[in-house]
Amino acid sequence: MSCSLTNARHKAYINQSCHCFYCSSPIWERNPVEFIAKFQISKSQAELLRCTAEHLLPRSKGGLNTASNIVAACRFCNQTRHKARSPLEPAAYRSKVRSRVLKGGWLPGCLSRRLMVSASNNIVN
C-alpha cells in the first residue's frame, strides 16, 4: 500500500470516528489486541473488522488515492462489496448494508450482537 493510500485511509478512519463507512461497526487500524479485549471477540472476528481503504471511485475507473476518494471500511464490507459480479455504487451499497444491519443480518455469527452489547456496556460504565 502506498504511503498516500495509507495516509488517506488513516484520515478517513479518524474522520469516521473509527467506524466503518458502510456498516458503522467499530473498526481497528493498528492494535487488534486492544480491540479484541474491548469487544471480547476472537482474533478471526477482529480480522473482519480491520480497517481497509475503500476507493469510492475504483482505481480501475480512474479513482485516485486521495482523501476525497478514500473511506475507511471494515474488511468484511470491503470484501463483500467486491465479491459481487456487479458491485453496487458506494451509496447504494451503504444503504443495502445499513438496512441489513438494522435487521441483524449483516456481520457473520453473533458479531453484531457482541458489538452492540459492548457498546451499550461502555455507555453505562
pLDDT in the model for residue 108: 82
DSSP line for 40-65: T--HHHHHHTBEEEEESS-GGGT--S
Supply the pTM of this predicted model: 0.87
124 located within any domain: no
Provide the pLDDT confidence category of residue 22 given band limits of 50, 70 and 90. Answer: very high
Distance in angstroms (rounded) separating the CA atoms of residues 106 and 118: 17
Helices (H), 1-125: 3-15, 32-39, 43-48, 75-83, 90-102, 111-124
Surface-to-core class of residue 62, CB atoms within 10 Å of its CB (0-12 exposed, 13-18 middle, 19+ buried): exposed
Percent of the chain with pLDDT over 70: 86
44-89 per-position pLDDT tens digit: 999 999 999 999 998 888 999 898 999 999 999 999 998 988 889 9
Mean pLDDT taken over the chain? 87
Which of 93 and 105 is assigned the larger pLDDT? 93
Distance in angstroms (rounded) separating the CA atoms of residues 48 and 110: 13
66 located within any domain: yes
Number of domains in the chain: 1
Instruction: List the domain range (segments joined by +) for residue 92.
Output: 3-119
Closest CA to 102 of 23, 16, 26, 39: 23
pLDDT in the model for residue 121: 47
